[in-house]
């Protein structure tokens, strides 16, 4: 009975950590902004961060939606890469890493022409059903990552009408 309880707890923790696996896109070097405004010509970097519970690699692509007019210029990674982020990119970390790790910086040229609420999002490479992460928990297995980043471009920020009294009530 004790073995069954321990096995159940191990499996439960394994499943809960699997849901903690994330791959995010940020538009600032501080990794705090997940939106982008394309209102004038400029070069901008997108930062891809893998938040994991022990991993040795990841395989994905960055797919633009209709209306996204940014043009891929280059990408850099502190790790070994095979392929490119526009079609199919594999990144090997070289060791088992934990926590949020910046795995890729992608440079795009923007022209100020992207449609309202277009986006760049992380998705599986063609022919794959999911984004693959290798060595989950340093156990040398592959898992699917379902918590994937989306970078909205030119999306208006939602606002709600309110009164001064409601604002003051927030601080009482």
- The tens digit of pLDDT for each residue in 58-96 reads 999 999 999 999 999 999 999 999 999 999 999 999 999
Classified as helix, coil or strand, 10 is helix
Q: Alpha-carbon distance 149 to 133, whole Å?
A: 15
pLDDT in tens, 19-34: 579 999 999 999 999 9
pLDDT at residue 1 tops 90: no
Q: Alpha-carbon distance 57 to 91, whole Å?
A: 5
Tokens describing residue 65: 């939606």
* Domains, the chain: 2-169 (2.60.40.680)
Query: Which pLDDT score, from 0 to 100, does residue 135 have?
Result: 81
Query: Which pLDDT score, from 0 to 100, does residue 93 have?
Result: 94
Residue 140's pLDDT band (boundaries 50, 70, 90)? confident
Contacts of 81 (CB under 8 A, 6+ apart): 75, 89, 90, 91, 92, 104
């Amino acid at each position: 009975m004790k073995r069954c309880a321990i096995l159940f707890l191990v499996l439960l923790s394994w499943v809960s950590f699997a849901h903690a696996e994330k791959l995010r896109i940020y538009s600032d070097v501080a990794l705090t902004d997940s939106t982008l405004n394309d209102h004038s010509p400029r070069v901008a970097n997108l930062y891809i961060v893998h938040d994991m519970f022990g991993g040795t690699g990841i395989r994905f692509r960055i797919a633009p939606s209709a209306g996204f007019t940014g043009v891929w210029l280059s990408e850099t990674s502190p790790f070994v890469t095979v392929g490119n982020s526009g079609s199919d990119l594999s990144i090997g970390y070289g060791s088992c890493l934990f926590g949020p790790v910046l795995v890729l910086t992608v440079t795009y040229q923007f022209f100020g022409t992207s449609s309202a609420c277009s986006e760049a999002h992380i998705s599986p490479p063609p022919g794959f059903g999911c984004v693959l992460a290798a060595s989950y928990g340093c156990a040398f297995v592959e898992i699917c990552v379902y918590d994937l980043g989306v970078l909205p471009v030119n999306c208006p920020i939602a606002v709600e009408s309110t009164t001064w009294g409601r604002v003051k009530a927030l601080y009482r």
